[in-house]
Amino acid sequence: MPDKRLILEVDGLHVTYASRGRTVHALQDASLFVAEGEVVGLAGESGSGKSTLARAVLGLLPQGITRIINGRIVIAGDDVTHYSPRQWEGVRGNPVAIVFQDPLSFLNPVMRVGDQIGESVRRHDPAARTTARSMELLELVKLQPSVLRRYPHELSGGMRQRAMLAIALGCKPRLLIADEPTTALDATTQTEILALLRELRATLDMSLLVISHDLGLLRWNCDRVYVMYAGHTLEWGPTGDVLARSAHPYTRGLVDASRLRRLPDDHFATIGGDVPDLHERYRCCPFFSRCTQVMDVCRQQIPPARGNRDGHGARCWLLEDGRE
Amino acid sequence: MNPPVLELSRLSKTFRPRDAMPLRAVDDVSLHIERGECVALVGESGSGKSTLARLALRLIAPDSGTVRLQGRSLMQFSPQALRAARLMMQPIFQDPAASFNPRRTVRAILSQVLVQAGATSVGDEQLSALLARVELRPARDYLNRYPHELSGGQRQRLAIARAIAPQPAVIIADEPLSGADVSIRAQILNLLVDLQRDFGVAYLLITHDMLVARAFSHRVAVMYRGRIIEEGSTGEVLAAPRHPYTQNLIAAVQSLDPPFAHDVPAPVDNRSGNPLQRGYAGSGPGASHLTLDR
């Protein structure tokens, strides 16, 4: 356990969806924590469960078809795992807020940006002086005051993401989740938005959970990272350790594929095999069928979590005693 | 000497919306691509990259300038002649789902293009060979499926199969990899490498991803506000960009391995002094640094 207080703790979370009469195990064994003031990255490919995890942490799992089978979510000391929709309203916005990949689908297209920021401000603090506070928020995200009178479609992609950010910050969150915040943006805008996020983390004293498939982005912006695969957190630890001295074969595969360097045969490193079938509840290592170093035990038992003093750890049978 | 596979000369296109200022999307752009060459066209959204691709494909008409395919100008071609010529110049788009007729099976999609390319009858054997080229195997698993029944990566492979079916000289690919997962991206690039090696196909690869441009292209053209502001071999442009805009683009890349520079085609030495690479080179588990205290 770290010395700092935890703002978020997810422990062994197992979440299922009902889909066309079948059960999808979107999250199977997901664990992570975010300490106060930390920037934590969550990496994984499509279907790894990273967005389901983000939704679970905000109580945004679709009702009726989703079930939390196992595990717990603790936010700022409160166990929120089985909160009612009404109780979740006391969590969303503050202490936890989220910005999504595509701001255009989350901003109200027929409402001026200023009104949307104002709504968020009043929701958090009904007595607030809305205009003054909205201006303050715009300044924080480095937008001109004139943006208050604009509609979302009149803004560029980067400006929309900043407007979303202003709305999220209106609630003074202690943890901001950024779900693929810059995927649709140009590289230069992407760098600006991430620099802004880190700056805000420091000035507003909040924590950040950045979800991305882009390891390069996480490499430059996060203190620690988690790597997810098929609903499991397979590796975690300080960013440099996880990406440069990966303990799990999946992380190594992901790092090598991300590099896009030519191999001697002129090809690029990739990860062989098929994407995991989430209809299955894994009772062994979920990566075994694609792993180049698979052993018998990998097909039979769930590997235990192993870690070192720096908080770098993984779930892989290769890390057991007797193996180098 | 052979003429370039594709030669764009002084192309310009201005869009004139009724209720807004005219927009000079492409402004006096010249670019050529040799046989078997890959030219990456990079730039940010709104720079005119996609308009240039559509001009090259003659999907829209330029205000001025010429498109030459294998030495022949396409500017005076009749619609029929243009259709035939276009078989030699195939597009791949960012969103493969949107580029297929959703009511046609894989078999119908591929048969159609083979017939357009002159085949009188198309057998399953021919279709299987085509699908095998893009690693959709076994073919019987795919031939009767509809595009929406394929995964994103499989659909992009189908788009590539359709593009290579008429054996084109050049493929114009507009952001074919954005939205793809890391491992899929590498798989698709490997496929493009193989096609280049086996058939000598040339590529105009439009991308906003400098990492992809670095990995795959021989030359880079940087587009900004409708103009090509810098052009050169990929190695030179990435190592010593001259234009401040290019310098910004390169500085913004958040790559796993700093500094970001060109490293093709030299083989990768995993045992170099780069601390990021130490510790997991070779085939060992590379996890011996993990002390096993619980």
What share of chain B in percent tops pLDDT 90? 56
Give the CATH number for residue B4. Answer: 3.40.50.300
For residue B206, what pLDDT is reported? 94
Q: Is B277 on the interface with A (CB under 8 A)?
A: yes
Looking at the structure, do residues B73 and B174 belong to the same domain, yes or no?
A: yes
B51: number of Cβ within 10 Å: 22
Three-state secondary structure call for residue A33:
strand
Tell me the ipTM for this assembly. Answer: 0.84
Helix, strand, coil percentages in chain A from 3-state DSSP, rounded to 5: 35, 25, 40
Structural contact between residues A107 and A163, judged by C-beta atoms closer than 8 angstroms: yes
For residue A3, what pLDDT is reported? 55
Question: Which of B256, B277, B293 to probe the A interface (max A CBs under 10 A)?
Answer: B256
Chain A CB contacts of B253 under 8 Å are 187, 216
Q: Does B231 fall in a domain?
A: yes
Structural contact between residues B159 and B96, judged by C-beta atoms closer than 8 angstroms: yes
Q: Is the peptide bond before B259 cis (omega within 30 degrees of 0)?
A: yes
Residue with tokens 């492979």: B157
Question: Contact B278/A244, CB-based, under 8 Å?
Answer: yes
Looking at the structure, do residues B160 and B178 belong to the same domain, yes or no?
A: no
Looking at the structure, do residues B186 and B274 belong to the same domain, yes or no?
A: yes
Rounded distance between C-alpha atoms, residue B255 and residue B262, angstroms: 12
Domain residue extents for chain A: 6-95+173-247
Looking at the structure, do residues B139 and B173 belong to the same domain, yes or no?
A: no
Looking at the structure, do residues B154 and B188 belong to the same domain, yes or no?
A: no
The band of B259, judged by pLDDT with boundaries at 50, 70 and 90, is low
Determine the structural domain holding residue B156 and report its residue range. 93-165
Residue type, B277: Q
Determine the average pLDDT of the residues in B127-138.
91
Looking at the structure, do residues B194 and B140 belong to the same domain, yes or no?
A: no
Query: ∠ CA(A132), CA(A137), CA(A141), 5° rounding?
Result: 150
State which of B134, B165, B196 marks the end of a domain. Answer: B165
Question: Contact A187/B252, CB-based, under 8 Å?
Answer: yes
* pLDDT < 70 stretches in chain A: 1-3, 321-324
For residue A244, what pLDDT is reported? 93
For residue B274, what pLDDT is reported? 29
Q: Does B293 fall in a domain?
A: no
What share of chain B in percent tops pLDDT 70? 87
The band of B273, judged by pLDDT with boundaries at 50, 70 and 90, is very low
- DSSP secondary structure, A297-312, as one string: HHHHSPPPEEE-TTS-
Q: Does B292 fall in a domain?
A: no
Rounded distance between C-alpha atoms, residue A112 and residue A147, angstroms: 9
Determine the average pLDDT of the residues in B200-216.
92
Structural contact between residues B33 and B39, judged by C-beta atoms closer than 8 angstroms: yes
Looking at the structure, do residues B100 and B32 belong to the same domain, yes or no?
A: no
Q: How many domains does chain B have?
A: 2
The band of B137, judged by pLDDT with boundaries at 50, 70 and 90, is confident
Looking at the structure, do residues B249 and B265 belong to the same domain, yes or no?
A: yes
Query: Residue B1 burial (CB < 10 Å; 0-12/13-18/19+)?
Result: exposed
In this prediction the pTM is: 0.87
For residue B69, what pLDDT is reported? 95
Rounded distance between C-alpha atoms, residue A162 and residue A196, angstroms: 9
Looking at the structure, do residues B225 and B182 belong to the same domain, yes or no?
A: yes
Scanning B193-212 for CB atoms below 8 A from A yields 193, 197, 208-212
Q: Does B71 fall in a domain?
A: yes
Lowest mean pLDDT among A232-246, B191-205, B262-276: B262-276
Looking at the structure, do residues B38 and B148 belong to the same domain, yes or no?
A: no
Structural contact between residues B274 and A259, judged by C-beta atoms closer than 8 angstroms: no
Looking at the structure, do residues B75 and B217 belong to the same domain, yes or no?
A: yes
How many residues are there in chain B? 294
Q: What is the pLDDT of residues B14-37, one digit of tens each?
A: 999 888 889 999 999 999 999 999
For residue B2, what pLDDT is reported? 82
Predicted confidence (pLDDT) at residue B293 exceeds the cutoff of 70: no
The superfamily (CATH) of domain A6-95+173-247 is: P-loop containing nucleotide triphosphate hydrolases (3.40.50.300)
Tell me the average pLDDT of chain A.
91
Tell me the average pLDDT of chain B.
84
Rounded distance between C-alpha atoms, residue A252 and residue A215, angstroms: 11
Looking at the structure, do residues B44 and B78 belong to the same domain, yes or no?
A: yes
A169 φ/ψ angles, rounded to the nearest 5 degrees: -70, -20
Q: Which residue has the higher pLDDT, A100 or B12?
A: B12
Chain A CB contacts of B278 under 8 Å are 244-245
Scanning A269-288 for CB atoms below 8 A from B yields 269-271, 275
Lowest mean pLDDT among B179-188, B200-209, B235-244: B179-188
Q: Does B285 fall in a domain?
A: no
For residue B275, what pLDDT is reported? 28
Nearest CB partner across the interface for B275, out of A244, A309, A320: A244
